[in-house]
């Protein structure tokens, strides 16, 4: 199943972001540290390159990600022109305080105190943009929720010290090119649940964890991962957690409920520090896609 999700309000959000891009100095792109490239909207890159704006990439939720993978991603991004990347957790106020000075290094022409440094926060839904905005202002001005697409309109605030910041709605792109990206985004709760089937997303996550973090699965659910696939992981979680539902045929395993247990454990860090992709796995995926025979 190919996952796609592009709510109607995002068309106008993209148009507004393109207009605002013309009058800002630095783009702050908030990414999910567990899947930085999958959570990077190609439209944001297109917009900022068109306007030749530098980018501060914030790998947020770094406290949930595999530290080794995060270090590799920082090297990957910091080698790109006009880009600076750092790993943070927007829920830690001390991390957010670093952001303005990092932006200043990307826009040295604004250090003269004549015009304010203008920053634009962008990113896909549910990566922590509004949490960052609130942390920068040290008060709650942006709505924060555990569902994607909570923010629906732009908001600009004066940070003082000749700096302004604008928060934007979470922005997806019309077509997710790679199937794995859709599943990684769904697993990390960047896509509305109305666009996905939880049991399929859970099976995808189970497969990925079996390949990269089998010990964390075994430790969390006391299961023997040998010979399992993703579906078997979800079934094992259902058995361990007693996920049953009554149907007209009697009691049956509730795979949707079990998948949500697995997904929630991953999202909240109960499984441990996990990254769904690395620069190496990303390159391998793109290579596999480029050499795959066309679908006829």
pLDDT at 142 over 70: no
Of 49-53, 75-79, 141-145, least confident by mean pLDDT is 141-145
Mean pLDDT calculated for residue range 93-117: 88
Tell whether 142 and 279 lie within a shared domain: no
Are 79 and 31 within one domain?
yes
Whether the pLDDT of residue 140 is over 90: the answer is: no
When comparing pLDDT for 253 and 142, which is higher?
A: 253
Structure tokens belonging to residue 253: 């395993």
pLDDT over 90 (residue 259): yes
14 versus 260: which is more confidently predicted? 260
pLDDT-derived band at 275 (thresholds 50, 70, 90) equals very high
* pLDDT band (50, 70, 90) for residue 151: low
The verdict on 111 and 203 lying in the same domain is: no
Please report which confidence band the pLDDT of residue 169 belongs to, taking 50, 70 and 90 as the band edges: confident
Provide the number of structural domains found in the chain.
2
Residue 177 lies in a domain: no
Any domain includes 187:
no
When mean pLDDT is compared over 145-159, 160-174, 282-296, the highest value belongs to 160-174
Which residue in this structure is represented by tokens 């634009």?
120
Do 21 and 161 share a domain, yes or no?
A: yes
How much is the average pLDDT of 262-281?
98
Pair (19, 153) in one structural domain: yes
CATH code of the domain containing 237 = 1.10.1580.10
| Whole-number pLDDT of residue 8 | 67
- pLDDT at residue 149, as a whole number: 47
CB-based contacts of 174, cutoff 8 Å, min separation 6: 6
Domain residue limits at 80: 9-167
Task: Give first-to-last CA distance, the chain, whole Å.
Answer: 17
Both 201 and 163 in a single domain? Answer: no
Domain boundary among 146, 167, 188: 167
Residue 1 has pLDDT above 60, yes or no: no
Do 138 and 13 lie in a common domain? yes
> Are 136 and 39 contained in the same domain?
yes
CATH number of the domain residue 38 falls in: 3.40.50.300
Assess whether 225 and 152 both reside in one domain. no
The Cα 61–Cα 31 span in angstroms is: 9
What is the per-residue pLDDT for 257? 96
Asked if residue 94 and residue 231 are part of one domain, the reply reads no
Query: Residue 25: beta bridge partners?
Result: none
The answer to whether position 174 is within a domain reads no
Query: With contact defined as beta carbons under 8 Å apart, do 263 and 269 qualify?
Result: no
Whether 178 maps to a domain, the answer reads no
- Asked whether residue 232 falls in the same domain as residue 128, the answer is no
Q: Is 247's pLDDT higher than 80? A: no
Q: What is the pLDDT of residue 161?
A: 82
Mean pLDDT to the nearest integer, 181-191 = 95
Output the pLDDT for position 70: 98
85 lies in the same domain as 141 = yes
Contact 107, 26 (CB under 8 A): yes
What confidence category does residue 86 fall into, taking pLDDT thresholds of 50, 70 and 90? very high
pLDDT given for residue 294 in this prediction: 63
């Amino acid at each position: 199943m190919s996952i796609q999700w592009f709510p109607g309000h995002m068309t106008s959000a993209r148009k507004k972001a393109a207009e605002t891009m013309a009058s800002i100095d630095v783009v702050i792109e908030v990414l999910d540290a567990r899947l930085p490239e999958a959570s990077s909207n190609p439209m944001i890159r297109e917009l900022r390159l068109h306007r030749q704006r530098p980018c501060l990439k914030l790998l947020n939720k770094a406290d949930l990600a595999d530290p080794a993978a995060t270090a590799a991603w920082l090297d990957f991004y910091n080698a790109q022109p006009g880009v600076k990347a750092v790993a943070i957790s927007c829920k830690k106020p001390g991390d957010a305080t670093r952001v303005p000075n990092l932006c200043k290094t990307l826009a040295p022409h604004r250090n003269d105190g004549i015009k304010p440094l203008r920053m634009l926060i962008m990113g896909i839904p549910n990566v922590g943009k509004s949490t960052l905005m609130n942390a920068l202002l040290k008060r709650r001005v942006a709505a924060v929720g555990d569902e994607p697409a909570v923010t629906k309109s732009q908001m600009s605030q004066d940070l003082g010290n000749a700096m302004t910041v604008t928060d934007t709605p979470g922005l997806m792109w019309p077509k997710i090119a790679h199937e794995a990206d859709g599943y990684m985004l769904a697993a990390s709760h960047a896509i509305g649940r109305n666009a996905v089937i939880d049991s399929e997303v859970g099976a995808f996550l189970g497969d990925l964890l079996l390949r990269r973090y089998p010990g964390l699965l075994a430790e969390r659910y006391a299961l023997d991962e040998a010979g399992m696939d993703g579906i078997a992981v979800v079934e094992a979680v259902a058995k361990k957690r007693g996920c049953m539902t009554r149907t007209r045929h009697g009691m049956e395993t509730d795979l949707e409920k079990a998948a949500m247990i697995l997904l929630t454990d991953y999202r909240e860090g109960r499984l441990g520090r996990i990254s769904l992709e690395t620069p190496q796995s990303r390159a391998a995926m793109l290579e596999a896609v480029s050499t795959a025979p066309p679908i006829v």
